[in-house]
Chains A and B, each alone.
Chain A
Amino acid sequence: AQTVTQSQPEMSVQEAETVTLSCTYDTSESDYYLFWYKQPPSRQMILVIRQEAYKQQNATENRFSVNFQKAAKSFSLKISDSQLGDAAMYFCAYREETSGSRLTFGEGTQLTVNP
Chain B
Amino acid sequence: DGGITQSPKYLFRKEGQNVTLSCEQNLNHDAMYWYRQDPGQGLRLIYYSQIVNDFQKGDIAEGYSVSREKKESFPLTVTSAQKNPTAFYLCASREGLSYGYTFGSGTRLTVV
Contact A47 B31 (CB under 8 A): no
Whether, in the assembled complex, A107 has its beta carbon less than 8 Å from a beta carbon of chain B, the answer is yes
Binding site secondary structure of chain B: strand
- With A43-B88, A50-B100 as contacts: A100 and B50 at CB distance below 8 Å: yes
Number of B residues with CB within 8 Å of any CB on chain A: 26
Contact A107 B42 (CB under 8 A): yes
Whether, in the assembled complex, B90 has its beta carbon less than 8 Å from a beta carbon of chain A, the answer is yes
Chain B: residues with CB nearer than 8 A to chain A?
Answer: 31, 33, 35, 40-45, 48, 50, 56, 58-59, 88, 90, 92, 94, 97-101, 103, 105-106
Please name 15 pairs of A and B residues whose Cβ atoms are closer than 8 Å in the assembled complex, sorted by A.
A1-B59, A44-B106, A50-B99, A97-B97, A100-B50, A101-B97, A102-B45, A102-B58, A103-B43, A103-B92, A105-B35, A105-B44, A106-B42, A108-B40, A108-B41
